[in-house]
Amino acid sequence: MGMVVSLFRRTIDLHIVDMTVKIPGTPASKIDRTPVSTPGGPSAREEKIVITVRLRPLNKREQSTKDQIAWECTDDHTIVCRSPPQERAVQPASFTFDKVFGPACLTETVYEEGVKDVALSALMGINATIFAYGQTSSGKTYTMRGITEKAVNDIYNHIMSTSERDFRIRISGLEIYNENVRDLLNSESGRNLKLLDDPEKGTVVEKLVEETATDDQHLRHLISICEAQRQVGETALNDTSSRSHQIIRLTIESTLRENSDCVRSFVRKPELCRFSWK
């Protein structure tokens, strides 16, 4: 997919908005867990990885230079790249994904049909990753901000309606820029945190701050701090491009009020950038 985006840099209107991987959280829980389902109604099948693609419309700069849209959705699962007339390609190149969203599609639709089940699975003790990848100016940050807002709403709505359990949500955020790891919740931590191998937790970031959210507004505030700390710079395609990779992790713990059994799972939100240099 990276080759596709790189190959057709002429019209930057394609990005992967959702690559999801779900594995059981730890420790084991007796809660019923909802498997990942490929979008598609009654014929949906269980998957560990679901890939969806969102096409964006031309922006003002592209419209002013009379760029042509190269990508087209032919159905809910297929996109086609049409080469410029002067290249006289034999036939358009087509690519198939689990779900495709066209330029007119709202972020709410992308969330409801491609992300919601994955985001909420963390409340059932399943680890989940919502992964965005695409070239600079493809719309990753725009999409992920909308998805994050809606996920926070749904997570806290679930918590409010689940009176038999106590929930605790913690958040951490890091940025990878020029091969350095930086804590987005602690500006005093420096720009090169170390990666360590933990026998129980796997790869961890040394001294990475993890804040406990008191409520949904506090969680939104912490997320906004992470966003504000990111490296931003100008590229040929975007005046205020996010110049770094960002990973936000939510740790969700829940405990039955009548006993001490705890379920812990994670929601990870990596946003990986591809740069276009001036």
The torsion of the CA quartet 187, 188, 190, 194, rounded to 10 degrees, works out to: -90
Known binding positions? 134-141
Tokens representing residue 130 in the block: 């919502």
Q: Is residue 93 pLDDT above 80, yes or no? A: yes
Between the alpha carbon of residue 149 and those of residues 5, 7, 152, the distances in Å are 27, 32, 5
pLDDT in tens, 10-26: 233 345 544 444 444 44
Averaged pLDDT for residues 88-112: 88
Known binding positions for ATP? 134-141
Report the run of H or E that residue 197 belongs to, with start and end.
Answer: strand 195-198
Q: Is residue 107 pLDDT above 70, yes or no? A: yes
Averaged pLDDT for residues 60-74: 87
Q: Report the chain's mean pLDDT, rounded to a whole number.
A: 76
Tell me, what's the pLDDT at 95? 93
**Separation of alpha carbons 235 and 238, rounded Å:** 5
pLDDT in tens, 30-40: 334 444 444 44
Tell me, what's the pLDDT at 89? 59
**Separation of alpha carbons 113 and 95, rounded Å:** 19
**Which has the higher per-residue pLDDT, 85 or 205?**
205
At 83, give phi and psi (nearest 5°): -70, 155
Strands (E), 40-194: 49-55, 71-73, 78-81, 93-96, 99-101, 126-135, 165-177, 180-183
Tell me, what's the pLDDT at 48? 77
Task: Give Cβ neighbours of residue 113 (< 8 Å, ≥ 6 apart).
Answer: 39, 99, 101
Could you tell me the pTM of the whole model?
0.74
Tokens representing residue 109 in the block: 């639709």
**Residue 138: which CATH number?**
3.40.850.10
**Separation of alpha carbons 39 and 26, rounded Å:** 27
Task: Compute the Cα dihedral for 214, 215, 221, 225 and give only its sign.
Answer: positive
Read off the pLDDT band of 112 (50, 70, 90). Answer: very high
The total domain count for the chain is 1
Tell me, what's the pLDDT at 231? 67
Closest CA to 231 of 185, 171, 177: 177
Lowest-confidence pick of 35-39, 91-95, 247-251, 253-257:
35-39
Q: Is the peptide bond before 27 cis (omega within 30 degrees of 0)?
A: yes
**Separation of alpha carbons 165 and 256, rounded Å:** 4
Can you give the residue range of the structural domain that contains 148? 2-274
Averaged pLDDT for residues 269-278: 48
Residue with tokens 């040394």: 206
Q: Is residue 46 pLDDT above 80, yes or no? A: no
**Separation of alpha carbons 241 and 134, rounded Å:** 12
Task: Compute the Cα dihedral for 249, 189, 221, 134 and give only its sign.
Answer: negative
Tell me, what's the pLDDT at 116? 92
